Amino acid sequence: MAFGAVLPRLRAQVKRDLALEGIPRNKVLATVVRLLDTTLIRVGGEAYARENRSYGLTTLRKRHLKISAGTLRLKFVARVALSTMSP
């Protein structure tokens, strides 16, 4: 089955998992999937972050995040040295 065909089911599962109490593994994974889906951030990798000082979702650092009034903002150098900031 093509990825596009299962995407609605994946999004529905993510929505259910984000509603879970506490911070179980499925909720953390759902958060990652939601961020990938809504921001189009690349996954990233430790070696690339270390060698190029550019980041993806899995290599973001605390300094790249700002939470204010219930809004999460991301600001970091992405691949190809593009500065990225969420709205």
Phi-psi label, residue 77: left if phi above 0, alpha if psi -120 to 50, beta otherwise: beta
Looking at residue 15, its pLDDT comes to 98
Give residue 53's pLDDT: 86
DSSP-assigned letters across all residues of 44-55: --HHHHHHH---
Give dist(CA 78, CA 87) in Å, integer: 15
pLDDT of residue 12: 98
Q: Tokens 């990652």 map to which residue? A: 32
Per-residue pLDDT of the chain (87 residues; tens, 9 = 90+): 798 899 999 999 999 999 999 999 999 999 999 999 998 888 988 998 888 888 999 999 999 999 999 898 988 887 665 555 555
